[in-house]
Amino acid sequence: MNQALSPSAPEAVARPLTFLSPKATSARPTQRWSVAGVQALLDLPFLDLLWQAQAVHRQHWPAGDIELATLLSVKTGGCPENCGYCPQSAQFDTGVAAQKLLPLDEVLAAARAAREAGATRFCMGAAWRAPKERDIEKMAERIAAVKALGLETCATLGMLTPAQAQALKASGLDYYNHNLDTAPEYYQDVVSTRQYQDRLDTLQAVRGAGVKVCCGGIIGMGEAPVHRAGLLAQLANLDPYPESVPINSLVPVPGTPLAGSAPVDPLDFVRVIAVARITMPRARVRLSAGRQQLGDAVQALCFLAGANSIFHGDQLLVTGNPEAEADERLLQRLGLRPAARVEGA
Ligand code: SAM
Ligand code: DTB
Ligand code: SF4
């Protein structure tokens, strides 16, 4: 961090705890962040925080483009887990009907449409606790077919074993999405059918298989400020930190236990994006679920804070997302360009 660019940030705030790790597996230096250090960043005066985040962003992302990723729910509803935010849990009455895995041709049609609409990454989501072996075989077929269209592939299928992660890698999987969602201390208030360590184990399996990691969380589940700092510290201290970091604002779905959570102050949401940018400079930070609630001006602040990816297309998994045309207009009004397709993807 260039201190000249961080006018009022004390050194201890602007810098991570240590620069170390002979065992670092990527070119990025491993940096460890304390929860208190992250909290201090979150608490900076708003304009100082955005100044720092924008400086880091310009240094690490000089092209300043915005990645467009399209989501498709390939297996909807009926999930045995009890994640308190999720409309797809079978334990809550949300009106989401359980469906079987989408056939290959429907997945391919959606991927082609996403590519035509300008997306460079296609993410397939399944409401599984953990896929079975035959699910992995079917997903491998779908991943290979989407990859052959020239799209980057991403999947989010629940917990994986190392062997399953390797099978997905062999089929052409570029990214695996598996969110930590909140701080370890708050996790059991959100979901009780699995442990935080289960999430960390899957992330390890994904990394070990050579698949890039997409991992983030949700803001607005009733968490305290220290839990936001705890989530960001967990993400930034992964070694190496994730290549993609989706920051979701809770989409409150009637019937889910967390539907009545107090709405997030939009400026606090922008702060979380800014701290994700500062602590994970080379990550694609995705302004993820909840954009319909944010409005154009707050989204513009999120881009200023360092968000450089969005979901493109009018649906997330089962809830809505801004229409593609509205997003294109917004990017145009802001003079932001969509990212070009990655060669060899
Ligand atoms: N079943 C898999 C799992 O939980 O890892 C994959 C699908 S799950 C729906 C993927 C992520 O979507 C969750 O980890 C959570 O971060 C996000 N998500 C789900 N419901 C949400 C909601 N109502 N608002 C915001 N994000 C949500
Ligand atoms: C992520 O972090 N957000 C996406 C994606 N990864 C899979 C999912 C958002 C889901 C929002 C509620 C829904 O539509 O189910
Ligand atoms: Fe199931 Fe994933 Fe929803 Fe949790 S977030 S209920 S694991 S689909």
This prediction has a pTM of 0.92
Q: Which ligand is nearest to the CA of 253?
A: 1
Tens-level pLDDT at each residue, the chain (345 residues):
333 333 333 333 444 444 333 333 444 546 799 999 999 999 999 999 999 999 999 999 999 999 999 999 999 999 999 999 999 999 999 999 999 999 999 999 999 999 999 999 999 999 999 999 999 999 999 999 999 999 999 999 999 999 999 999 999 999 999 999 999 999 999 999 999 999 999 999 999 999 999 999 999 999 999 999 999 999 999 999 999 999 999 999 999 999 999 999 999 999 999 999 999 999 999 999 999 999 999 999 999 999 999 999 999 999 999 999 999 999 999 999 999 977 665
Query: How far from 298 is each of 79, 291, 304, CA to CA, in Å?
Result: 33, 9, 10
Q: Whose CA is nearest to atom 6 of ligand 3?
A: 89
Q: What does DSSP say about strands 30-32 and 18-20: parallel, antiparallel, or unpaired?
A: antiparallel
Which residue in the block uniquely carries the two structure tokens 């960001």?
A: 232
Q: Which atom of ligand 3 is nearest to the CA of 91?
A: 6
Distance CA 152, CA 173 (A): 8
Question: What is the pLDDT at residue 329?
Answer: 96
Residue 341 is among the residues annotated as catalytic for this protein: no
Question: What is the pLDDT at residue 31?
Answer: 72
Summarize the chain as % helix, strand, coil (round to 5).
40, 15, 45
DSSP 190: T
Cα 119 to ligand 3 centroid, rounded to whole Å:
25
Domain annotation for the chain: domains and CATH numbers: 35-334 (3.20.20.70)
Contact 199, 178 (CB under 8 A): yes
